[in-house]
Structure 1
Amino acid sequence: MEIKKSNQTDSAVYADALMIREAVFIREQGIAPQLELDTVTPATWHYVLYDDQAHAVATARMTPNDDTTQHVQRVATLKTARGHGYAQALLQAMMTDARKRHFSRLVLGAQVTAQSFYAQLGFVPEGPVFMEAGLRHQAMQYTL
């Protein structure tokens, strides 16, 4: 297993991240492409986890909200690769990177169906459930 990251939209990492997001969010969950494939800036870091056969199987991205908080988004694992701890490993690497860069908090909008996954990693729910891209979400935060 290997985790690679890039903030360049012309990188192989970004292309692999988009491939996973298209498979999970657009094809599997039915989210409209114009909602899923949004604009990013160089401040956004895309992470991709590659399995032992060097296949891209999980992704997430992280963008600073401000000097203390990173926003985690687009956490996805290919359906055939679920249940192996890939997303957990990816998020733990992101937590480590955020700490090294002196951020003190991570926030995310979890799909309600995935809320228990984030809770197992130490994320705590905040505020009311809300709708995004036609799916119920819950804001969650993690103190680094």
Structure 2
Amino acid sequence: MKKMTTAYRVSEIWQLADVYYIRRQTKIHGHSVDHRMEFDEDFNEKYHYILLAQGDDPIGTCRVNFEHQDYGKIERVAILEKFQHQGFGRELISAAEDWIEDKGFAKAVITSVDTAVGFYEKLGYTPNYEIKYEDTDFPIVYMAKQFKSIDQREVG
């Protein structure tokens, strides 16, 4: 039986510490991403993160960017290796989508590594191979998902 998880909209330092722990373990150690590239935040800016955890154990994280006028963008998605392929990625993306919808957006965007495209397609994202990313160390695919508008949602 899977233990209960909590998706935090990060607001406390301990949560942020877990976010950075996950990103360090998965991106820098797991994929050999340069730490200056992975930790690209500006110290004086506010960033929005989701932390997925089971009790005191961090599982995964993502950054949610609300700076665009037409959509919310899900960035820096990471699940610790021992928790992968157990449904936690789906749970994390769902929490990010909920936050994006709560902010009034009807669309989410993810720029995905090419190896994760199938995962995001299963969650309803559509790849757009026309959009190219030149300044990356690995192939990136632009993906988008349109949410149902408030008028289209079932009332129940």
TM over 0.5: yes
Q: Does 1:130 align with 2:133?
A: yes
Quote the residue 1:104 is aligned against: 106
Percentage of identical aligned residues: 19
d(CA) in 2 for partners of 1:141, 1:113: 16
Is 2:50–2:95's contact at 8 Å kept on the other side of the alignment? no
| Structure 2 length-normalised TM | 0.82
Shift of 1:63: 0.8
User: Contact 1:31 / 1:133 at 8 angstroms: preserved in 2?
Assistant: no
Shift in CA distance, 74/123, structure 1 to aligned 2, threshold 3 Å:
same
User: How far does residue 143 in structure 1 lie from its aligned partner after superposition?
Assistant: 0.8
Let me know the Cα RMSD of the aligned residues. 1.7
CA distances 1:110-133 after superposition (whole Å, capped 9, x unpaired): 000011001100011112453554
* Counterparts of 1:132 and 1:16, CA distance in 2: 28
Pairs aligned (count): 140
**Deviation sequence 1:66-119 (CA, Å, 0-9, x none):** 233111101010111111111110111111121122111111110000110011
> Which one of 4, 8, 15 corresponds to residue 4 of structure 1?
8
Q: Would you say 1:113 and 2:115 are equivalent positions?
A: yes
Q: How do 1:43-82 residues align onto structure 2 when only pairs under 5 Å count? A: 44-51=47-54, 53-82=55-84
Q: Tell me, which stretches of 5 or more residues in structure 2 are unaligned?
A: 148-156
Separation in 1 of the partners of 2:31 and 2:121? Answer: 22
Instruction: Point out 4+ residue stretches in structure 1 off by more than 4 angstroms.
Output: none
Segments of 5+ residues of structure 1 without an aligned counterpart are none
* TM-score of the pair, normalised by structure 1: 0.89
